[in-house]
Chains A and B, each alone.
Chain A
């Protein structure tokens, strides 16, 4: 038997147990003791060990999860100093998006200093895979993924976020 195999010792223990088992037990009982008792003991030891360690789970929703910095959650459309959407409707995010969840319709901008703005900007949050490629592709730093972790909706339609919803984020 392999010396490095931890089961090898357990087998030796089992042999000892069987050897010192009280007389009168059937061969089946002896075999059961030999097979199970060491594992149960090891398991109980592990349980005891974990009982004194700090908990890794949260009592959600009473306790809220705070994602780490850089977590890729719900999207946000950023605004410039004048409160206008920074987005220039260049479709770079929609081009980079591997899930094809971004729908943009462009229109000429109403302001003299800008050419193009999105008339419609929708993200289907159910299709989105939160990869952050849109954020990386954006030449205007107009879209980013926030650390908003929870998203609640009761219909599929609610999960298609429009421009206003994304600007609010």
Chain B
């Protein structure tokens, strides 16, 4: 193991690692633009210059391999002067349009300009004007702002593998661009916006939506497929404005897919269920009278807490429980190995943990068709779910139907009791991704209208049935389900799924 010395402090590093990688991990910040921990180093921005003992000139730390007895200096007048010069060059053609640039406030160039700037520009000639245009359906480029760091180009080349982007023109006319016939249109295209160190690449869905210093960031988990990418939601005036990936090397690395980012659009849909018909009391009364003849159909997008409570309900009224899920498309894997799953529900692994491997609804629908079951409760959290014909027929056949859903459907118009459900962004909970990692969903904003989280109305039903004492928070339910665990222990990055409580309360319906 090579030993290196950073500003006098000795470190032991794996051989072959690049210096900047080690410095960032060690906590020694070296300013940089083109280097990104998820991309191959390129060494073109020249901002990460440091002094090493076996070189007379300054070296770009992102390309410098760690060798034994390497002595590195990251501070000093020589390095500071070099950084100032690099900044001056980068700012020669960069427009001063921070006021109308959406990146302002989270821009690396802006931050570094404050910290390492020369002060005044000595450049008196005209700036180069480059074009502003759409690169594809999701991303727009402001060519003037591009500093040719090639992060986006390396991303499409090495991570996605589609390679739509390339650096066009030479010298100060250079900018990232696409071939006229090949737009930037791949399942991960919006990641280029996050990694752009300036405001050149802008997400069209976030364009002019909010200045970032007015926004609040909340860490949550994406629910659009069973991968469960760790994301940060940007909140502004009680609305989710965008989702951005959050680094978690065990789940999603640095990236997320475009479909996951756009999963926020239906939250504001006019088709959201907003008004309730009946309530928890009606459900409890009906189920009590029909104990033994109750079917429950739950979506595999429900949180662990909701599944645990549904299990309690099924036990309490001696009902059968079935599941509905959604599989779409084919599994897409990028060049770097980032996968978008076909299972479009967030918590199928959680359901398998609680209910065993058999997650069909056939048991319930067969019971309805044979007349064994007369009452059906449908709890769905999958938006725009195309209901299987079997379930649709079953809902027509039952004598009493309750539907808790996020969006209107023919089931909700037919139901005797309709409970508008809070969507993934409107409730707390935990979901288990396909690798068995339990991760938190955080409540980002209020649910529309009278919508309530499934965990709370299910508890109300159980209280009316006498199977629970009181209604507690989602975390309370989680602690019941997993003794010794709480949300703090799950943490922001998720944890391995703990053992579930085996003693789900027995049948306690007061006859």
Contacts and interface: CB of A to CB of B under 8 A. Distances in A.
A115 B132 CA distance: 10
B207 A108 contact: yes
B287 to A, nearest CB: 47
Contact of A91 (B97, B132, B207, B214): B214
A109 to B, nearest CB: 9
A115 B213 contact: no
Contacts of B386: none
Interface in A117-163: 139-140
B208 A107 contact: yes
> Which of B100, B211, B213, B214 is most buried by chain A, counting CB atoms within 10 A of its CB?
B100
Contacts of B99: 88, 90, 92, 139-140
A91 B208 CA distance: 11
Contacts of B100: 88-90, 115-116
Interface string A98-113: 0000000011100000
A29 B349 CA distance: 102
Interface residues of B, number: 9
A88 to B, nearest CB: 5
Contacts, number: 24
Nearest to B213: A95
Nearest to A138: B99
A139 B95 CA distance: 14
B495 to A, nearest CB: 39
Nearest to A88: B100
A98 B207 CA distance: 26
B338 to A, nearest CB: 32
Nearest to B208: A106
B201 to A, nearest CB: 15
Contacts of A89: 100, 208
A137 to B, nearest CB: 10
Contacts of B213: 95
A108 B211 contact: no
Interface in B210-250: 211, 213-214
Contacts of A88: 99-100
A25 to B, nearest CB: 78
Interface in A61-91: 88-91
A108 B208 contact: yes
A116 B140 CA distance: 14
A44 B395 CA distance: 97
Contacts of A91: 211, 214
Interface of B: 97, 99-100, 132, 207-208, 211, 213-214
24 contacts: A88-B99, A88-B100, A89-B100, A89-B208, A90-B99, A90-B100, A90-B211, A91-B211, A91-B214, A92-B99, A95-B211, A95-B213, A95-B214, A106-B208, A107-B208, A108-B207, A108-B208, A115-B97, A115-B100, A115-B132, A116-B100, A116-B208, A139-B99, A140-B99
Given A116-B100, A139-B99, A140-B99, 13 more contacts: A88-B99, A89-B208, A90-B99, A90-B211, A91-B211, A91-B214, A95-B211, A95-B213, A95-B214, A106-B208, A108-B208, A115-B132, A116-B208
10 nearest CB pairs, A to B:
A90-B99, A106-B208, A116-B100, A91-B211, A139-B99, A115-B100, A88-B100, A90-B100, A116-B208, A92-B99
